[in-house]
A = this chain, B = another copy of it.
Amino acid sequence: MGFRATPRVRSLHSFPGITVAQIDEEVAKLLQLKAQIGGDDGKHQFVLKTAKGTRDYNPKQMAIREKVFSTIIGCFKRHGAETIDTPVFELKETLTGKYGEDSKLIYDLKDQGGELLSLRYDLTVPFARYLAMNKITNIKRYHIAKVYRRDNPAMTRGRYREFYQCDFDIAGQYDAMIPDAECLKIVHEILSGLDLGDFRIKVNDRRILDGMFAVCGVPDDKFRTICSTVDKLDKMPWEDVRKEMVNEKGLSEEAADQIGEYVSLQGGMDLAERLLQDQKMSQSKQACAGLSDIKLLFSYLQLFQATDKVVFDLSLARGLDYYTGIIYEAVLTQAGVATVSTEAQNGAEESVSVGSVAGGGRYDGLVGMFDPKGRKVPCVGVSIGIERIFSIMEQKAEAAAEKVRTTEVQVMVASAQKNLLEERLQLVSELWNAGIKAEVMYKKNPKLLSQLQHCEESGIPLVAILGEQELKDGVVKLRVVASREEVQWRDVNSSIRRERR
């Protein structure tokens, strides 16, 4: 197949002001050529796998997933949340300008004619788009769905390119810190309910961070970049963070050291009180507003009996641009549970922290970015790091050598002799009609042993055993699989006697 470069090249030459339509045509030609050459170089053999960074869930994993979801959804419903769903892809421009540097991780769909689309990167931006599009000014909703990031996957640590997010948000103009406190209460309830071991919820406020940067002498245009360096404090020691600030980001040593003093502080309401009196910090109006709100938050958390796990931590600086007020992040503190064993690239076993398991904050400006008139809808929300929780639960189930049931079958309809298929089918149908979860083997003449083995393997507690004698007597033998205890079941089977009336 010859490569006809000439016409394409000419057309590009003759239109220095090339149009989008022409580019599309060029791209289509090149991609067609690529398809002719045969896709990725040398990879002509079909590979049986899932896409990089994704996984199937097998029935056991699904059983764990369902259990975790049911705890979480139970909590969201207890707090009166509604739920919504949005499409897996959005117009590309809906996502544009919302994720800063991370935008390069967005999956785009191929331009097959029509709209330019991207897979959703989180659930927060689609939520804000939904509110603006439907002019909704208050709602309390949860949304559990998969999101997509072309990130470097670390699947043993629960980091995938396709993963669940599990978000709860409260939108609306309300009195300060009441919905914010409820979000923290929800994190507290969920992490307690999932029984993942001890945890801490760190809280801080965007305004305190910004105020702190201002009073420490960070130039305005460096707030963001210094903030993202502070964000690394949970992975790097202070010395390295300081070095990055001074050497890479060009901050003065003095400013860096002042920041260093503040970000080492942790406490509760008392710390907020102290910082309100702090000579330097109290010069920032922003910081004071944030500190007063932290005080108010703690007073509400006391009423919610949730202060035991909450720490005001000035080093907490979440990456996302859209936060405007309080921010928080929950981490597991019990090392034994918080680590997941993984195979490092060199094959050695490595124990790594699963990191934060929930996070969120207040974002009062995001909805306004979508509203044609810029009308703001204040929002606060939390996202549960469900994939990490799955990893921990799977590991726990494996460690405990627990038998995870993947079906809920209560009765297996079996036969002890041959030629009882019709009777088995009839009985199992009666059970189904009565709402009983029941199974039958899809064989004409299965062996009793293999029917019993199936019960043992899949944890079915009861077997109904049909036999010629029992049919004549109008009874069914019911056996408890675990104890082998047997009873006769009288009434049910009048209709499945051999001699029908």
Task: Report yes or no: A55 in contact with B18, Cβ–Cβ below 8 A.
Answer: no
Residues of B within 8 A of A426 (CB): 303
Task: Report yes or no: B109 in contact with A438, Cβ–Cβ below 8 A.
Answer: no
A115 to chain B, nearest CB (A): 6
Residues of B within 8 A of A79 (CB): 432, 437-439
Task: Report yes or no: A47 in contact with B91, Cβ–Cβ below 8 A.
Answer: yes
A188 to chain B, nearest CB (A): 10
Select A170's contact among B408, B433, B442, beta carbons within 8 Å.
B442
Measured between alpha carbons, how far is A59 from B46 in the docked complex, in Å?
43
Copies of the chain in the assembly? 2
A226 at the interface (CB under 8 A from B): no
Report the interface size for chain A: residues with CB under 8 A from the other chain: 115
A363 at the interface (CB under 8 A from B): no
Residues of B within 8 A of A305 (CB): 429, 433
Chain B, residue nearest A370 (CB): B48
A270 at the interface (CB under 8 A from B): no
Task: Report yes or no: B30 in contact with A303, Cβ–Cβ below 8 A.
Answer: no
Residues of B within 8 A of A179 (CB): 442
Measured between alpha carbons, how far is A244 from B40 in the docked complex, in Å?
41
Task: Report yes or no: B78 in contact with A58, Cβ–Cβ below 8 A.
Answer: no
| A176-203 at interface with B (beta carbon < 8 Å) | 178-179, 181-182, 185, 189
A236 at the interface (CB under 8 A from B): no
Residues of B within 8 A of A37 (CB): 18-20, 23
Task: Report yes or no: B41 in contact with A20, Cβ–Cβ below 8 A.
Answer: yes
Task: Report yes or no: B77 in contact with A437, Cβ–Cβ below 8 A.
Answer: yes
Known: A27-B31, A50-B86, A59-B84. A116 touches B39 (CB 8 A): yes
Measured between alpha carbons, how far is A407 from B141 in the docked complex, in Å?
10
A250 to chain B, nearest CB (A): 29
**Per-position contact with B for A111-133: 1 when CB-CB < 8 Å, else 0?**
11011110100000000011011
Select A41's contact among B19, B91, B181, beta carbons within 8 Å.
B19
Select A435's contact among B46, B78, B87, B422, beta carbons within 8 Å.
B78
Residues of B within 8 A of A46 (CB): 93
Known: A82-B407, A432-B189. A51 touches B107 (CB 8 A): no
Given contacts A48-B370, A51-B115, A79-B439, 18 further A-B contacts (CB under 8 A): A5-B12, A5-B13, A20-B37, A21-B41, A26-B30, A30-B30, A56-B130, A59-B83, A62-B83, A66-B83, A77-B408, A79-B438, A107-B112, A110-B111, A170-B442, A174-B442, A178-B443, A305-B433
